[in-house]
Amino acid sequence: MRTIRLTKESKKDLLNTLLKRSPNNYGQYEETVKGIIDEVREKGDQALFELTKKFDGCELDAESIRVTPEEIEEAVNLTDPELYAVMERAAANIRAFHEKQKRNSWFDYKADGSILGQKITPIAKSGVYVPGGRAALSSSLLMNVIPARVAGVKKVVLTTPPGRDGKVPAGTLAAARIAGVDEIYKVGGAQAIAAMAFGTESIPKVDKITGPGNIFVALAKKQVFGYVGIDSIAGPSEVLVLADETANPRYVAADLLSQAEHDELASAILITTSEKLAEQVEREIAQFMEKLERKSILEKSLENYGYILLADSMDDAIDAANEIASEHLEILTENPFEVMTKIENAGAIFLGEYSSEPLGDYYAGPNHILPTNGTARFFSPLSVDDFIKKTSIISYSKPALKAVHEDIEAFAKSEGLTAHANSIHVRFEDHSSAGQ
């Protein structure tokens, strides 16, 4: 990690560096992704079989592309019972948190006979993508599927790449059983996104696609947006720790490394007002690095996107945190709740030394599908709201409309839309004179 003084210029340079990790900067892959999507739209299942053989080294056909109940049962039996119980407890926490996000339809009745309201309807079909191989994330499956189920989505379809043996990781299938997935297909990459967006002979078209993936998955979601809804174009993981002299340097170092191990593009940043803490954290990181398994990834992540920023004041540190708008923000200060009130931009905020970021990744309940690359300035975590539609309801009686019809007609005419004005006018024209 590099230690630098927090200034206006260093902050600007840091923001520019972090933005380089955005999927929007990988245009060289867009044509490749477009070609895959077009192939799936044109050839359907045949394209999926060919692309799965090409990219995953696995032979599929119409019989084997869908995971069978027997395969799910086998996976559950292969899963450590203690781990299965942990996933069930995590799922219960996730479900309880998201239940509190549910909305109800509402109607406002007025004395003049007008009724205004909002009708809440869950989307019909949700598609979830789960990466395979080393990145098989059972926790992300729970985070994507459970809010959809809480929202009332009727069908949840999951796609995930198979191994060369044609199998899906047992942990993925076990989590799918717990979360309540309806259909699981052995397809990965951009081709899986295309299949869910447009449908094939085997895979149904869905209404919205959520879930993490590599750059090809991210770009595919970007290209199919508009044909279906998506959650976001997710970038690499990131954590920002905001700390003062009261923070435990060992905890800070461990938390920074917990995000840096995701991949070489992951970002881990400490902003602190304490030079002593900064020095201690660096020493702790060096010691941890010798023990942790993903050392090569950690080294490259910290070398490229690991920073310790020394701030002159906590107000300066908070301002920088708001501009960075990190996916995960840990506040390890003397009074973290007071600092939290000044934070405007963050995907998720973790308060105090016993609220380490992995608590949110796996267990606490709030969703870990979060805005990245500064998009916390305008995006929110995945939630029940992502799986519902809000429809406006309008009903006016004749007296209610009569009281305002001239206002509406004037507004419409001011925009040159005389047919709009006429649509209101005809309801109050003098019918006896109109018939002469």
Q: Single out the catalytic residue among 328, 353, 357, 368.
A: 328
Beta bridge partners of 129: 159
Cα within 13 Å of Cα(331), Cβ side: 21
Over its C-alpha atoms, the chain yields an Rg (Å, rounded) of 26
Buried-exposed string 13-32: b where 16+ CB fall within 10 A, e elsewhere: ebeeebeebbbeeeeebeee
Strands 106-109 and 115-122 turn out to be: antiparallel
Q: What is the strand order of the sheet 106-109 is part of?
A: 106-109, 115-122, 388-395
Residue 432 has a pLDDT of: 39
For the chain (436 residues), the mean pLDDT of every run of 10, in chain order, is 87 81 74 95 96 93 95 95 96 97 96 95 97 79 97 97 92 96 96 97 97 90 95 87 97 93 88 96 92 88 90 95 94 96 96 94 94 91 96 96 96 97 93 44
Please confirm, yes or no, whether 63 is among the known catalytic residues: no
Q: Single out the catalytic residue among 327, 330, 357, 409.
A: 327
Please confirm, yes or no, whether 368 is among the known catalytic residues: no
Helices 275-289 and 249-260 meet at what angle, rounded to 10?
A: 50
Cα–Cα distance measured from residue 408 to residue 426, given in angstroms and rounded to the nearest whole number: 13
Buried-exposed string 304-323: b where 16+ CB fall within 10 A, e elsewhere: ebbbbbbbeebebbbbbbbb
Residue 45 has a pLDDT of: 96
CA distances from 57 to 36, 53, 214 (A): 17, 4, 18
